[in-house]
Amino acid sequence: MEHAKSRALIDMLGNMKIHPRRGMDPTLIEKLEEFKKKLKDLRQELESPKEDSGRSRSVREEFRAVRTALSDFLQQVELRTPEDALMALKQVPPFSATDLKKLTQNSAWSGTVFLEFFLGTKESYGFVSRDGTFRTFRIPAGDQEIRKRVSSLRDKIKGKSPDWKEDSAALYGILIKPVEKEMAGASRLAVIPNGPLHYLPFSPLLDGAGKLLIEKIPLFTLPSATVARFVQSGGDKKSDEMLLLANPDGSLPFAEAEAAAINQATKLRPRILLKNQATEGTVKKLTSSAGYVHFATHGILDGGQPLYSALVLAPDQKEDGRLEMQEIFNELDLKHTRLVTLSACNTAVGPETGGDEIAGLSRAFMYAGAPSVLASLWAVDDYSTSRLMTEFYRNLSGSDKAQALQKAQLAVYSEEKVSHPFYWAAFELIGSFR
């Protein structure tokens, strides 16, 4: 099962110490820059007003053609450096039940309950492990039934409906209730989703007494159990420098207030870049030394070509202001980074691909070296996001990341006007809790 679930990300994490540009032929780097310049010029032309509809159509077609050519180019050069070719030969073995038991015996994961799911056609299975124990349990629902429940709950939460509790309780009953024994006295719960469960906010699931899961235990998610192998040392990174980028296109005034509030609340050392200071080029230059990187920006997901999903930044002389997934893969080096926060819309999820991999921006930052990503499952409310982020960074100095997120979500939940899960349940911690 583990072999089928997440091979793409596992393989990328296995190779992530190799930066794609190191050792690359200078002519290939030059070719890559030519592609980027062409795309920047075409994007600027697309965004400028035109009366000639025929010309606009021609530019759009050329833009799509150049993006396709760039994708082909990136695939062709993937193994063109000696280091990349060598690393590609290494097979990262999938986890077994024995591996998972050993992982939970590691002191780094002490007190952590691992809960992994596999959804079948008519029925599904859960796998739970804690402190060296392992158990399998049956879930009396298949992929389609669970998918409908998840979709219904998401729609109700995103629509701020008061009727969200029935779906929430039903999902708790089949997914969480079977592992309450393992959760008793545990320090945290690591959820490893499958299929539509990648889109499920676990924090607002309700037990039989009407208590939220997030009230019972801190939560975080992992793309697969195998990924835990690569992120478990994330807490060892020591830098307290923070790069905070907010409102680069001027459309998110609350983002600037968010940055100011975080600056007051945190014990980290923030460097705040607002509006046109928050350029794409600056991000690429400064992220390599930052322990924490916070993007208070818009996110754009491209379902047709996920590699071009992007965070919106300010353009500069060289860059077009869209930090695309393919650029995160190829150009960012986050080996000193402990956490990337994506305080933007829909940054945790993307289209499902063949190996059950969610091609979200969060996965790109993990590939670039970040052990943890804090991202959102739906478009978020400005006020509550600012409030949640302020509480998260305030609590981070005395708590691990999962605990800090739990405290932040409960702080927002405690305010009557923003107590509905729409306002606080969107954000999830992906990767290392440390």
Environment class of residue 406 by beta-carbon count within 10 Å: exposed (0-12), middle (13-18) or buried (19+)?
A: buried
Mean pLDDT, the chain, integer: 84
What pLDDT, on the 0 to 100 scale, is given for residue 107?
78
Does residue 420 surpass a pLDDT of 60? yes
- Give residue 108's pLDDT: 80
Other beta carbons within 10 Å of 390: 22
**Mean per-residue pLDDT, 225-237:** 69
The answer to pTM > 0.75 is yes
CATH topology of domain 97-229: Nucleotidyltransferase; domain 5 (3.30.420)
Which residue ranges make up each domain of the chain? Answer: 24-80, 97-229, 233-431
Rg, Å, the chain Cα set: 22
CB-based contact 271:242 (threshold 8 Å): yes
Stretch 116-132: mean pLDDT: 93
Tokens for 14?
A: 């296995």
Report d(CA 136, CA 126) in Å as an integer.
6
Residue 426's contacts (CB-CB under 8 Å, 6 or more residues apart) are: 201, 376, 377, 378, 380
Going by their DSSP bridges, the two strands 219-221 and 299-300 should be labelled as unpaired
Which whole number is the average pLDDT over 402-419?
Answer: 98
Mean pLDDT of 229-237: 65
According to the model, what pLDDT value does residue 101 have? 76
Q: If pLDDT is split at 50, 70 and 90, which confidence band does 77 have?
A: low
Which amino acid is located at 267 in the chain?
K
Instruction: Specify the long-range contacts of residues 215-218, CB closer than 8 Å, at least 24 apart.
Output: 215/410, 216/183, 217/113, 217/183, 217/186, 217/187, 217/188, 217/189, 217/406, 218/187, 218/188, 218/189, 218/400, 218/402, 218/403, 218/405, 218/406, 218/433
Calculate what percentage of the chain has a pLDDT beyond 70: 82
Return the DSSP state at 411: H
Greater pLDDT, 254 or 168: 168
| Least-confidence region, from 7-11, 42-46, 376-380, 414-418 | 7-11
Gap between the Cα atoms of 203 and 176, Å rounded:
11
Residues 6 or more apart whose CB falls under 8 angstroms from that of 409 comprise: 203, 214, 388, 424, 425, 427
Mean pLDDT of 46-74: 76
97-229 and 233-431 have identical folds: no
- Residues in a beta bridge with 124: 119, 139
Per-residue HEC secondary structure of 71-119 comes to: HHHHHHHCCCCHHHHHHHCCCCCCCCHHHHHHHHHCHHHCCEEEEEEEE
SS3 323: strand
CA distance 246 to 298: 10
> 1-27, pLDDT tens digit by residue?
554 444 455 454 444 443 445 455 667
Which tens digit of pLDDT belongs to each residue from 168-207? 999 999 999 999 999 999 999 999 999 999 999 999 999 9
Measured between alpha carbons, how far is 127 from 130 in angstroms, rounded to an integer?
A: 10
d(CA 294, CA 73): 31
Edge-first strand listing for the sheet containing 427-431 = 133-139, 124-130, 112-119, 188-192, 219-221, 427-431, 372-376, 339-342, 292-296, 241-246, 269-274
Checking if the pLDDT of 64 tops 90, the result is no
Per-residue confidence (pLDDT) for residue 81, from 0 to 100:
44
Tens digit of each residue's pLDDT (9 = 90 or more) over 307-317: 788 999 999 99
* Top-confidence range, 4-8, 33-37, 216-220, 362-366: 216-220
Burial class (CB in 10 A: 0-12, 13-18, 19+), 275: middle
357, pLDDT greater than 50: no
Task: Find how far residue 145's CA is from the centre of its chain.
Answer: 26
Q: Mean pLDDT highest for which of 23-37, 50-64, 206-220?
A: 206-220
pLDDT for 403: 98
Strands 310-312 and 299-300: antiparallel
CATH architecture of 233-431: 3-Layer(aba) Sandwich (3.40)
The dihedral sign for the CA sequence 164, 167, 171, 173: positive
Q: What is the mean pLDDT of residues 85-101?
A: 52
Query: How buried is 55 (Cβ within 10 angstroms: 0-12 exposed, 13-18 middle, 19+ buried)?
Result: exposed
Q: What is the rounded average pLDDT of the residues 152-156?
A: 97
Arithmetic mean of pLDDT, 109-114: 92
**Higher pLDDT among residues 20 and 160, named by residue:** 160
CA distance 342 to 352: 20
Whole-number pLDDT of residue 192:
93
| DSSP label of 190 | E
3-class SS string, 218-229: CEEECCCHHHHH
Q: Of all helices (H) and strands (E), which one includes residue 396?
A: helix 382-396
User: Which of 79-88, 100-109, 248-257, 330-339 bottoms out in mean pLDDT, i.e. has the lowest?
Assistant: 79-88
The b-or-e profile of 157-189 (16+ CB within 10 A means b, else e) is beeeeeebbebbebbbebbbebbeebbeebbbb
* C-alpha of 129 from chain center: 24
* Chain CA centroid to CA 168, Å: 23
